Amino acid sequence: MTGLAARRTGADGAFPIGIPVLALVASAGGVEALIQVLGPMPSDLPAAVLVVQHQDPAGPADRLADILQTRTALVVRAARDGDHLRPGLVLVAPPATHMIATPYAGLGLIDSGELPPARPSADLLLATLAVTCGPRVLAVVLTGRGHDAQAGIRAVHHCGGTVLAQDEATAEQFGMPGAAIATGLVHAVYPLRDLARAITRRLASAP
């Protein structure tokens, strides 16, 4: 296998992050959706988990991580610049920052500034995961307004990753999942109650 096909599957070693990564991205209504997705997951989940939820930039850095930690067996904390990815650890993007994947199985945090309004940015996280993880990325687009993540999932698809989305009937706001689905690049659409099971099943067979 050579060329673009090889790069998309990671067969030529083009993707430096060698573990599966689950990226959960959300906006309005996302806290409850994240709880329902992370709640049933086992503590030995064979993937690193990254969470981007649009938040008030003035909010406490640990608030979302603290909420999620009480509802899941996984270890959850706010991400710090230079953190390393490891299976079973959930790292949550803090308010007023963007979170990116680096080539060293780690994370970088970037001050979001005044613009763009979507902060943290799902597009930035997903695009950097695409080029560092390739087919090991499983991106899940949850409830939210707007279209953040639409460009990011194009990058994930281009590099061989997988994209799931929450369905309209269970999304408090269908803007983000709807925009993702409109690309034609989403592999499957699920009601919120079925997403945890679908994610766990896919991670069990991850490359």
B/e letters for 153-185, b = 16+ CB within 10 Å, e = fewer, are bbbbbbbbbbbbbbbeebbbbbbbbbbbbebeb
pLDDT tens, position by position, for the chain (207 residues)?
233 333 344 444 689 999 999 999 999 999 999 999 999 999 999 999 999 999 988 889 899 999 999 999 999 999 999 999 999 999 999 999 999 999 988 999 999 877 667 789 999 999 999 999 999 999 999 999 999 999 999 999 999 999 999 999 999 999 999 999 999 999 999 999 999 999 999 999 877
Output the pLDDT for position 70.
97
Using CA atoms of 141, 144, 103, 13 in order, give the dihedral in degrees to the nearest 10. Answer: 20
Distance, in Å, from the CA atom of 112 to the CA atom of 21, rounded to the nearest integer, reads 23
Domain assignments of the chain as residue spans, ordered by start: 19-204
Output the pLDDT for position 114.
73
Strand order in the sheet with 21-26: 75-78, 89-92, 48-53, 21-26, 137-141, 162-166, 188-190
Residues forming the active site: 27, 54, 148
Nearest to 37 by CA among 206, 203, 191, 204: 191
Output the pLDDT for position 59.
87
Nearest to 100 by CA among 122, 121, 125, 127: 125
Q: What are phi and psi of 135, to 5 degrees?
A: -70, -5
Nearest to 139 by CA among 120, 118, 160: 160
Q: Tell me whether strands 97-102 and 106-111 are parallel, antiparallel or unpaired.
A: antiparallel
Q: Angle at the Cα of 20 (from 22 to 5), degrees rounded to 5?
A: 110
Output the pLDDT for position 181.
98
19-204: CATH architecture? 3-Layer(aba) Sandwich (3.40)
Output the pLDDT for position 160.
97
